[in-house]
Structure 1
């Protein structure tokens, strides 16, 4: 009887969330409300359910959350491929593309690995006991499928040079199925070669290049429409995932999730401060940058979309005297690779938590540096959409030979973490632009900016 009543309550809450959507209530507010309602309902049912009832409830209510995770996995690989190719087809600069591109990509990837190390250190000192979480059968099934998809038997025994070689695809179409442990990186490498090939024929064969660009633009719009459709299910998925997590774990699990949330934002604050320092060393004063970037960063935080913030980002970089060719290249790349929030510090924090459940000291130099390298390589192909952090974490954990089950637990609060991650993602693109300008000898100081404005007038 109690199980039946609980199902009715769940259905009523989901109906209420649908009603709020029909009333045009903001997406972020509905996600927060779903999170809170999930915690409250989970805590209440935890007090009344027996162990068998908890499992039965979790298996049925967890269907929606499990499907949501599956949908994100389904679209991840094609989205990564298209976004990386589009980073090349949207490039407007015509000279020194190789040099500028190498500097931008190197900065994005390198800083993502550095942010991952900061995440690991933060996750270690957060002192979150990952072994204390109880994972429902549905979540465990999803975790096992993820493990089977991303970790092949024997690959973890390869040496580091062999693992680097294994990253390169022998059959990119097979990698698009996601069946190989390094499938995502293989798809990214294939897309990079296509992008470079596009740039080579862009001027020699404009008709062919134009057709290819138009085709990729169309595919991107269709895939993004699918992504937006999937993300619209987030409030209901968050509610069911949080409810099933709490009903199986009681208040201590909620406290651990709260500690994880705080740890994420502490790591983001550290990374953000370092980003501002690098930008300052490149000639842009912190006060000037914050003044110019505040509205863009605020928009990125509210929308939790790196791609959606790109237009404002480009305008802001132009105000900072960053050449359009450099800013367009870095902003494009930053929405699909080297995302220091989604693919850097977030996986790092979870890696630290999971590693300790396996008796591994995440601060040991060998593990720390290797994990940083894996995170950097993984960051090649994480698109700027919701769920990217989970995909990056799954790949990184798999490459390190660690279990991925806890990722399903943290998905419940990922939309709230994603807002902060988007800010440092966007900031990472500005860092890449600033470093590229510094390497290219472009003066970004306020004095030079004022002199250019005077000449233009």
Structure 2
């Protein structure tokens, strides 16, 4: 009876959101309302459902959100391919593309190192005593298994040069399926090769080049039409995803590790504010940015998926007057390298806690800088291995010669922390776009019309 009542409530909420759409209520307001209703219903059901009821409810209610995320992931690779190619049809000089890509990568990797050092500081100031944790056999086993796979042996073990080589595709059509850990970067590299080839024939074979350009313009409009169709279902997906997430969360796990959890989110907030400050320096006012980005950031938070949020991210950056070529590259790279949350601040916090247990002062200038450099390098190399914050943390700890066992304890609440980490990962890509526009002299201020003439990046 309780399950039936819960399903009826879900149906009524979705019907209400559809009604609000028909009443022309703004998209952002419907997303926020869906988010709030999802949290409220999830908390209520969490207190009444048994484990079996929660799983059954989530299986059926989660269908909408799961399909929605899969649809966005389905369109993300074709979208990246077309957008990167489209960048070449809007510029005149090859050097602009090289400069643009280098700026994006440098911004992402550098800021990941900075986020890592912020994590080191907040981790130390939090006063978390790593010696106070009892490392269970299962936690130690989980951490050592990951270390064995990604650091000390196993098929995933790669040196940094090998990780760089692994980014390059041997079969671009296989990468278009998204099967490789670095498939997105592989698609970008393939698109870059096609783009440079277009520039080489642009003046010599005008007819063929124009045909290619017209095809890309048409493909982009069709793909974006599909994206907008998918995005119109966002409020219903947000509601169902948030409801099922809260229903099935082990709240006690969060309470047991509350100090670490609070430290992570305090650091996430600090890094996010710093990112917004950089974005503001590049010409986008914080108020305008938050207003445009909130639905996207909310979706990234709920799904904990940078790839799944890519389509919304690109749409939002276009509204901020960021050129398609810049936004497509930064959004693509930000899902695979320089991840400020997963490979930046999160490893920084844990490194600080572990270092203290070894009698090392995490805030000593030498250790702070060396750890920041390791985190920055790890944030780049992680693209060739796959995995999230835990893998990045274990690789960084091992590089610094620190024990990895403590990481296993935090795996229990990592899915909740990952929601916040994904927000700063995505936000880091937008920041890289803004910095790239600033370097290339593109005006992003509110009065600037969102028109990018031929020849401009």
The answer, yes or no, to whether TM exceeds 0.5 is yes
Q: Which residue of 1 aligns with 2:328?
A: 336
Per mean C-alpha deviation after superposition, the further-off stretch among 68-77 and 6-15 is 68-77
Q: Deviations over 1:82-107 (max 9, x none)?
A: 1111111122x3xxx23333222211
Q: Which residue of 1 aligns with 2:405?
A: none
Q: Which residue of 2 aligns with 1:235?
A: 235
Number of residue pairs the alignment of both structures matches: 371
| Mapped partners of 1:154, 1:223: distance in 2 | 39
| Mapped partners of 2:293, 2:105: distance in 1 | 22
Shift of 1:425: 5.0
Q: Which residue of 2 aligns with 1:13?
A: 13
Q: 1:18–1:49: structure 2 CA closer, same or farther, 3 Å change rule?
A: same
Residue 112 of structure 1 contacts residue 344 of structure 1 at CA under 8 Å; is this kept in 2? no
Q: Which residue of 2 aligns with 1:98?
A: 94
Q: 1:229–1:155: structure 2 CA closer, same or farther, 3 Å change rule?
A: farther
Match of 2:321 among 306, 310, 313: 313
TM-score (norm 1): 0.66
Residue 272 of structure 1 contacts residue 427 of structure 1 at CA under 8 Å; is this kept in 2? no
What pairs up with 1:148-159 in 2 under 5 angstroms? Answer: 154-159=154-159
Residue 169 of structure 1 contacts residue 175 of structure 1 at CA under 8 Å; is this kept in 2? yes
Shift of 1:180: 1.9
SS of aligned partner of 1:179: coil
Q: Which residue of 1 aligns with 2:109?
A: 113
Shift of 1:215: 0.8
Residue 341 of structure 2 is aligned to residue 349 of structure 1 = yes
Q: 1:180–1:88: structure 2 CA closer, same or farther, 3 Å change rule?
A: same
Residue 115 of structure 1 contacts residue 345 of structure 1 at CA under 8 Å; is this kept in 2? no
Q: Which residue of 2 aligns with 1:68?
A: 68
Residue 167 of structure 1 contacts residue 185 of structure 1 at CA under 8 Å; is this kept in 2? yes
Give ranges in structure 2 of 5+ residues lacking alignment. 129-149, 297-312, 356-361, 395-407, 444-457
Residue 119 of structure 1 contacts residue 345 of structure 1 at CA under 8 Å; is this kept in 2? no
Residue 63 of structure 2 is aligned to residue 55 of structure 1 = no
SS of aligned partner of 1:156: coil
| Mapped partners of 1:193, 1:82: distance in 2 | 13
Residue 32 of structure 2 is aligned to residue 32 of structure 1 = yes
| Mapped partners of 1:87, 1:378: distance in 2 | 26
Residue 39 of structure 1 contacts residue 246 of structure 1 at CA under 8 Å; is this kept in 2? yes
| Mapped partners of 1:181, 1:375: distance in 2 | 14
TM-score (norm 2): 0.66
